[in-house]
Amino acid sequence: MYYVYIIQDKNKNLYIGCTNNLKKRIEMHNTGKVISTKYRAPFKFVYCEVFISKHDAFDRESKLKYHAQSLRRLKERLKESLK
């Protein structure tokens, strides 16, 4: 299984990632072991999508990161969760 996830830092900034071990990856973010988020911890888990295909998961992550409309639509659905 592959997971596309969104976490939120204390300043309400979002981070989108993809992994095959969600629990371990979130723990790595919160303990400063991920270079791109090292100084932004702690994080709040906000959202996750599950995929069987690695290709599908990374494609979805890419769409959320690089196509503003995809992320905007998801943010509309998660309005209360992102407060």
37-81 pLDDT, tens digit per residue, is: 988 989 999 999 999 999 999 999 999 999 999 999 999 999 888
- Number of structural domains found in the chain: 1
CATH number of the domain where residue 20 is located? 3.40.1440.10
Residue 50 lies in a domain: yes
Residue 7's pLDDT is what? 95
**pTM of this prediction?**
0.91
CA 17 to CA 26: how far, in whole Å? 10
Tokens of 48: 């996750």
Question: Hey, how many other C-beta atoms are within 10 angstroms of the C-beta on 74?
Answer: 18
Region 10-37: what's the mean pLDDT? 94
Whether pLDDT at 27 is above 90: yes
